[in-house]
Amino acid sequence: MPYVQLVYASKAQPEITDAEVLEILKISQSKNLTRRISGVLLYVNSTFVQLLEGPEGAVTEVFATIAADPRHRDVTLLEQRKTDEVSMPTWAMGYFSPSMTEQQRADNPTLLKLEDVRLICEALPARLGAPFLELL
């Protein structure tokens, strides 16, 4: 089984602004694709839930970086498994904030609509999708 799938949850530091979160996510998207890591990230009410999937070494390394990042707190590993096939064709994110404008969403094609995130999470293997659906 050449791949690993990992789901974690964490809380964002309270002082982080929406703009900062979006910038962090934009940078991580580019880094993840370079390492051939796909997945989906959900950010609702200062809570992150993220699926990371790809080559084991790369995924473990990214998760270790996130766990050590002071902008995340209460990082909890919810699910980890080895697999022959990953579930996502890219690295996408669902980001929902009361202050987010339609323009911000239009400017960032990686941002998904709520209904699309729900459909994607329902299509994931049950144990991977459950933490996302719980948050939604």
Instruction: Give contact residues for other proteins (rule: CB under 8 A).
Output: 29-30, 32-33, 36-38, 40, 54, 86-92, 106, 109-110, 112-113, 116, 119-120, 123-124
Q: Which is nearer to other proteins, 5 or 12 (CB)?
A: 5
CA distance 7 to 25: 16
Output the smallest distance, CB 114 to other proteins, in A: 11
Which structure tokens are listed for 25?
């996510």
Output the smallest distance, CB 87 to other proteins, in A: 6
Q: Which is nearer to other proteins, 30 or 99 (CB)?
A: 30
Which structure tokens are listed for 62?
């990214």
Q: Which is nearer to other proteins, 9 or 86 (CB)?
A: 86
- Edge-to-edge strands of the sheet including 72-83? 38-44, 47-55, 3-12, 72-83
Output the smallest distance, CB 66 to other proteins, in A: 18
Which structure tokens are listed for 2?
């050449």
Radius of gyration of the chain (CA): 14
Sequence-distant (6+) residues with CB within 8 A of 23 are none
Q: Which is nearer to other proteins, 120 or 135 (CB)?
A: 120
